Amino acid sequence: MLKSLLGQSAESRAAAFLKTQGLKLVARNWRSRFGEIDLIMQDDSTLVFIEVRLRSRSDFGGAAASVTPAKQKKLLATARQYLATLKTLPPCRFDVVALSGDSAPEWIRNAFDDMG
C-alpha cells in the first residue's frame, strides 16, 4: 500500500511539474494487457507517453536508468494499444520523469523510441 501511495504521489508531482511546462494531461494510469502508462500528455500537437520513476537512491544509475529495454518494450506495446483507439495518429514521443527525494524532477524528453 505504501508503495502504491508513493507511486501515486510521484505521478501527481510529475504531472504538476509537466503542466507548469505547458503540457496538458490526457490520461493517467492507462492500462492494456501489455502494461500501464503512467501519464499521457499533450505537448502542442505531440502526444507524450510518460514513465514516472521514483528512486530514493542513485545506485545502479538512478531512476532514469531503471527504464530498461524490457520496460520500454512494454511501454511501446501499451502505447500502440492506446493509439489504436484514436481516429488519427498524432506525432508521439516517450519521456521519462525521474524523481528522487525533494530535488527537482529530471525530465528526459525522447528518452527512447520504438527502435528500443
Mark 3-25 as b/e (b = at least 16 C-beta within 10 Å): eeeeeeebbeebbebbeeeebee
Quote the domain boundaries for residue 82: 2-110
Question: Mind listing the pLDDT tens digit for each residue in 50-93?
Answer: 999 987 655 556 566 678 899 999 999 999 999 999 999 999 99
The CATH number given to whatever domain includes residue 38 is 3.40.1350.10
Q: Count of CB atoms within 10 A of residue 27's CB?
A: 13
The reply to whether 106 falls in a domain is: yes
* Distance separating alpha carbons of residues 31 and 48, to the nearest angstrom: 15
User: pTM score, two decimals?
Assistant: 0.89
Report how many domains make up the chain: 1
6 vs 60 pLDDT, higher one? 6
Q: Count of CB atoms within 10 A of residue 50's CB?
A: 27
- Provide mean pLDDT across the span 104-110: 91
